[in-house]
Amino acid sequence: MGLRLKFNLVLIVVFLAGFAAAGWVSRQLLQENARDEVVRDARLMMEAALSVRAYTVDQIRPHLIKQMDEVFLPQTVPAFAATEAISTLRKKYAEYNYKEAVLNPTNPRNRTADWEADIVQQFRQYPDRGEIVAERQTSTGRNLFIAKPIQISNPACLQCHSTPAAAPPSMLKVYGEANGFGWKHNEIVGAQVVTVPMDVPLRKAERAFTTFMISLAAVFFSVFVVLNIMLSWLIVRPIRRMSEAADKISTGDFGVPEFAEKGRDEVSVLGSSFNRMRRSLEKAMQMIGDQ
């Protein structure tokens, strides 16, 4: 096995190990960055919904509450306002979703799906848990969701949700008396759920990963070619010349020219040593021939 082949085998083994390690690490980092991007988007949407809720309670509801006796205005309901605001946003970003998922809602559109009901039950089981961040597979691909509990911390909410008798008659005309009642103070009745698709960030991560690995392979190939040229020019070629010269000298042919003694690297030192050995051997052969 030649020196070049040994060198290339070692280089290839080292590259493959480094390539695999770099691929695994980079893929993990890119996947984590993609997930972090989705979480940031989901948190931004959640904060937008919370801001709309707070604005409705502080700025809208106080000015319209007196009209509730005559006509029910859903715009005064924080959950309705937040859902409508995010629905406007979804006209441009249809894949994003926000829902005020409630086990026993007044508005039927807020009723929990099975997986949302499981989230609400988790909040009920662990009341101190303020947030759930997880992923789920849907028919459209992987989605990440952030959920926060809806807890009846404001006693004023019970005016509309304790009993039908206490609720505004205008609300009963719209939604009836069958749903949305029986809530209790400090009870967790639902969850705010923001759903964000992971497909786009994951595709970006895959493209970045593919580009990185192709670039890494191209760099290795370039380094591999350059190292082989240097190995051939600086090591293999001089050693091969020395080997051919040694073969000729061993048969008594001293007409081989000496190697140029330039530089201080190992090959140059070896060439100088070879030249001294050649001269010594040539003199020894002359001395033997003179006897």
pLDDT the model gives residue 291: 58
- What does the alpha-carbon distance between residue 72 and residue 179 come to, in Å, rounded to a whole number? 16
Cα–Cα distance between 108 and 242 in angstroms, integer?
91
User: Rounded to an integer, what is the distance from CA 282 to the centroid of its chain?
Assistant: 70
> Which H helix or E strand runs over 126?
none
- Distance, CA of 62 to CA of 66 (rounded, Å): 8
Q: Which residues pair with 99 in a beta bridge?
A: 193
220-258 burial, b for 16+ CB within 10 Å, e for fewer? Answer: beeeeeeeeeebeeebbebeeebeebeeebeeeeeeeee
Q: Are 75 and 55 in contact (CB under 8 A)?
A: no
Q: Please give the pLDDT value at position 121.
A: 93
Please tell me the total number of residues recorded for the chain in this structure: 291
Q: Which amino acid is at 101?
A: A
User: CB neighbours (10 Å) of residue 55?
Assistant: 15
pLDDT score of 267: 67
How far apart are the C-alpha atoms of 120 and 113, rounded to whole Å? Answer: 10
Beta strands in 113-162 (DSSP E): 132-138, 141-151
DSSP character at residue 113 = P
Positions in the chain whose pLDDT score sits under 50: none
d(CA 97, CA 245): 80
* 112 touches 124 (CB < 8 A): no
∠ CA(66), CA(71), CA(72), 5° rounding?
A: 90
pLDDT reported for residue 7: 80
Residue partners of 47: CB distance under 8 A and separation at least 6: none
Looking at residue 263, its pLDDT comes to 63
